[in-house]
Each structure stands twice: as structure tokens, then as C-alpha cells.
């Protein structure tokens, strides 16, 4: 047994001691005891707790891997997340003012990915324990929209009927404004008998839509989401911001960042989270590599009233970035890349004369790397804002404004 003192938290929320030794669910300053195995104490005993330590509010916290920081006060978690972003920027030699963070409320997460496994009697649906294939049921989850929690028995029923004891179903469930939207992957191969059973089950379940490995099995009505003045029905399992309040916070930040721009390029546009909210005042070029997402965006725009023109373009911005000369006609660019960032496109932006850039990111490290490229190209990072829609987790979103 070793007795150690936690000196800091790592980017995944684990406490770190000298060595280093990683200790989950601990806080800086705490003295802990436990068996060190491969540089980790899996089951620490807290000898001296931090003043920031609180009792985890969720009954599932001990066994569920969905949350990592319920044992810390909210202010500590917010400061820690902002500190991660500050450190990432500082590592690239950048400082910037921080806007007040947005923190999504409890029970606001509108989409979640569950795992389902058939058992001898019934089924288990829930989240995995951390770094484990053990499933934990989460009937009292504090993060999920109540409609998702209420649907867990429905997912258990489907898993018991059509799941496998040799593998797991991945169950992506989203609360749409027309009802629940369920996309299942990892299941049995779809044949006519399975399609018939699923169609019958979907009809009895009250779902807005059921998709099985990308094939829409049943749709009682389009599972739409209102974005600005448009209604958008994303393809099954498509990316959406996890909470509606966070989506609104990011949209407001992006709107501030582009100012009065009349011609805007929205890069990595997805289903139109930003394009459709900005089209009230600006003409938009929406660029995205996923054709189904672009079709959803375009359909939403065409059916809406009072929006300026949105032109869509399917393009792989990693391999085929928009070049500086083609960016010259835009007053502003919105860019919201995946976790890997967008180094190639950022180099082209850095060499452009676009007056304003609104950047959105889910990865402080790649954001800071890309921000350095823009700064080296003559841009100023005017402000950043942390958007915490993944409560109690180490993840964060951010928005930022750059001006030439």
C-alpha cells in the first residue's frame, strides 16, 4: 500500500501524484492510500479530503462511467475546465480574455448513447463503467432529459427481443420536438422477418423514428429540431449539440463573433446549427462532407420563411480546404471542426483576408494549435468562452472570436 498526495488533475479528471500515479475521483491536496498497479490506484482510500469534495449527488456515480467529477463542487469544476483551456493556449504562447462560461442545467441532455445487452431473463441497458465492458443501469441519471430516462424500459424491451447475449446493441436516443428518435447499430443483420418485427415494435412504442444500422424502419412523423426559423430532421444518429441551452449559448457566441457580416462561410456545417441561425441576417455558404446532413440542412432552409440564401457544398475540408483566394468574398467564417481540429483549413484561413472568424471547438488542445496558426497569420484572439454541456465530465466546448 502507498500513501500519496494528489498534486493536480489530469485532462481526464483523474488526480495525479508525483511519479506520476493516476488516482480516479480525487482532488488536488488530498492524501490517499491504495495499491499502485501499472501507475494507477484503482480503488483509493481518501485519508485527507479536499475542502472542495462533496457527496456525489447521483446514486449511480460509484459504478457508472458516464461522469468523472461529481465529487467536486461546481465552482471547482468550472474553474478547472477554464484552466485546461488557459493552459492549452499558454502552451502556444497565447493569452485571451475569458467570457463568463455557460453551464447547462441538470436533466437537460437531449441525446445519449446507451449500450444494451440481452440477459437470460430480460436485458440490461445503461452506461459502461469506466474502462470496462460492465454495464450500469441509470434509472435515476441526473444528466439526462427525463424523456430519455423514461424511455429506458422501452430500450430494455427492444434489447430483450432483438439483442444478442454475445454482443451489445448501441442505442442512440434523441429527444426531438416530435418525439423520441432511436438509431440502433451493432445488431442482427436486417432481413425481412426482422424488419417486420421491428416495424411492429416501433408502431407500438410511440417513437417518432426507428433506424437499424442506418436503415429507417419506421417513422410516424419526422423527428425535427427547430434551428432559428427552420425545422430540421437530421439523419439517424446524426450529431447534435448535447443540450439545447448549450446550443443556444454557442449560437449566441458565434453571432457575436461574426458581427454584422453579410456573407458568411460556415465550415463543417453539419445539419445547420449555425448556418440556419445566422441566415436571418446573412447569406451563407454551408460546407460539410456528409451529404445526408447537407440534405437535411437544405430541406430545413427551403421550408423556412424569412431566411436569406443558404448554398450548400459537399467538400472534405481536410483534403480539399477552401483556399485564401476563394475566401476573399466572405465577411466572416464560422468553423466548427471535429476533435482533431482543422489544421489544413486553418492554414488557409490564416493566409486569407477574412475580417472575422468565429471558431467553435470541443478540444482545447487542437483549438490552441489552430489558434496559433491564425495568430501567426495576423489574427487576434479577442475572447474565448467555455460552454459546459457535459456536466461532471472532463469534456468541454468553447467558442472564440478572431479578428484580422
pLDDT tens-digit map of 274-299: 999 999 999 999 999 999 999 999 99
Judged on CB neighbours under 10 Å (0-12, 13-18, 19+), 325 is: exposed
Q: What is the DSSP letter of 185?
A: E
Mean per-residue pLDDT for 164-187? 95
- pLDDT category at 133 given cuts 50, 70, 90 is confident
Mean per-residue pLDDT for 303-320? 97
Is 132's pLDDT higher than 90?
no
- Tell me the C-alpha distance between 333 and 338, whole Å: 16
Instruction: Give the chain's largest Cα–Cα span.
Output: 67
- Tell me the C-alpha distance between 258 and 357, whole Å: 7
Is 166's pLDDT higher than 90?
no
Q: Indicate the Cα dihedral angle 315, 370, 104, 169, nearest 10°.
A: 50
DSSP of 27-93 = -TT-EEEE-EETTEESS-EEEE--TTB---S-TTTTT-SS-S-TTB-HHHHHHHHHHHHHHHHHHTT
pLDDT at 100: 98
Mean per-residue pLDDT for 59-76? 95
DSSP of 91-127 = HTT----BPPPEEPPTT-B-EEEEEEEE-SSSEEEEE
pLDDT at 155: 98
Mean per-residue pLDDT for 142-149? 97
- Tell me the C-alpha distance between 71 and 74, whole Å: 9
* Whole-number average pLDDT of the chain: 96
Mean per-residue pLDDT for 79-97? 97
372-388 pLDDT, tens digit each = 999 999 999 999 999 99
Is 118's pLDDT higher than 90?
yes
Catalogue the active-site residues. 362
Q: What percent of the chain stands above pLDDT 90?
A: 96
pLDDT at 164: 84
pLDDT at 88: 97
pLDDT at 365: 97
Is 165's pLDDT higher than 90?
no
Is 131's pLDDT higher than 90?
no
pLDDT at 130: 83
- Tell me the C-alpha distance between 261 and 274, whole Å: 14
Mean per-residue pLDDT for 301-306? 97
302-320 core/surface letters (b: 16 or more CB in 10 A; e: else):
eebeebeebebeeeebbee
192-210 pLDDT, tens digit each = 999 999 999 999 999 999 9
What is the pTM (predicted TM-score) of this model? 0.96
Judged on CB neighbours under 10 Å (0-12, 13-18, 19+), 336 is: buried
Residues with Cβ within 8 Å of residue 38, at least 6 apart in sequence: none
Amino acid at each position: 500500500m502507498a500513501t500519496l498526495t494528489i498534486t493536480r488533475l489530469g485532462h481526464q479528471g483523474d488526480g495525479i501524484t508525483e511519479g506520476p500515479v493516476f488516482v480516479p475521483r480525487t482532488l488536488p491536496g488530498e492524501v490517499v492510500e491504495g495499491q499502485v498497479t501499472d501507475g494507477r490506484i484503482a480503488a483509493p482510500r481518501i485519508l485527507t479530503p479536499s475542502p472542495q469534495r462533496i457527496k456525489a449527488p447521483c446514486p449511480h456515480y460509484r459504478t457508472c462511467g458516464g461522469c468523472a467529477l461529481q465529487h467536486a463542487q461546481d465552482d471547482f469544476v468550472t474553474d478547472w475546465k477554464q484552466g485546461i483551456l488557459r493552459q492549452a493556449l499558454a502552451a502556444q504562447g497565447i493569452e485571451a480574455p475569458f467570457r463568463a462560461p455557460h453551464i447547462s442545467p441538470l436533466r437537460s441532455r437531449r441525446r445519449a448513447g446507451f449500450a444494451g445487452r440481452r440477459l437470460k431473463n430480460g436485458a440490461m441497458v445503461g452506461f459502461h463503467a469506466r474502462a470496462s465492458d460492465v454495464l450500469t443501469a441509470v434509472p435515476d441519471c441526473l444528466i439526462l432529459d427525463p424523456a430519455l430516462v423514461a424511455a429506458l424500459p422501452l430500450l430494455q424491451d427492444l434489447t430483450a427481443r432483438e439483442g444478442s447475449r454475445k454482443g451489445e446493441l448501441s442505442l442512440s436516443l434523441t429527444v426531438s420536438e416530435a418525439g423520441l428518435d432511436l438509431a440502433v447499430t451493432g445488431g442482427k443483420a436486417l432481413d425481412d422477418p426482422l424488419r417486420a418485427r421491428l416495424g411492429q415494435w416501433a408502431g407500438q412504442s410511440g417513437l417518432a423514428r426507428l433506424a437499424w444500422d442506418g436503415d429507417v424502419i419506421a417513422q410516424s412523423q419526422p423527428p425535427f429540431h427547430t434551428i432559428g426559423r427552420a425545422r430540421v430532421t437530421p439523419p439517424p444518429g446524426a450529431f447534435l449539440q448535447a443540450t439545447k441551452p448549450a446550443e443556444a449559448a454557442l449560437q449566441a457566441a458565434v453571432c457575436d463573433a461574426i458581427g454584422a457580416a453579410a456573407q458568411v462561410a460556415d465550415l463543417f456545417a453539419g445539419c445547420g446549427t449555425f448556418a440556419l441561425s445566422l441566415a436571418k441576417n446573412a447569406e451563407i455558404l454551408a460546407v460539410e462532407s456528409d451529404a445526408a446532413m447537407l440534405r437535411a440542412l437544405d430541406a430545413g432552409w427551403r421550408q423556412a420563411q424569412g431566411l436569406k440564401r443558404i448554398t450548400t457544398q459537399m467538400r472534405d475540408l481536410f483534403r480539399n480546404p477552401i483556399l485564401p483566394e476563394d475566401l476573399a468574398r466572405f465577411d466572416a467564417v464560422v468553423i466548427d471542426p471535429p476533435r482533431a481540429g482543422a489544421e489544413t483549413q486553418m492554414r488557409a484561413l490564416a493566409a486569407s483576408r477574412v475580417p472575422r472568424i468565429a471558431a467553435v471547438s470541443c478540444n482545447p488542445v487542437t483549438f490552441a494549435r489552430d489558434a496559433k496558426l491564425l495568430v501567426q497569420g495576423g489574427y487576434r484572439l479577442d475572447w474565448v468562452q467555455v460552454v459546459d454541456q457535459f456536466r461532471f465530465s472532463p469534456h468541454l466546448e468553447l467558442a472564440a472570436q478572431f479578428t484580422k
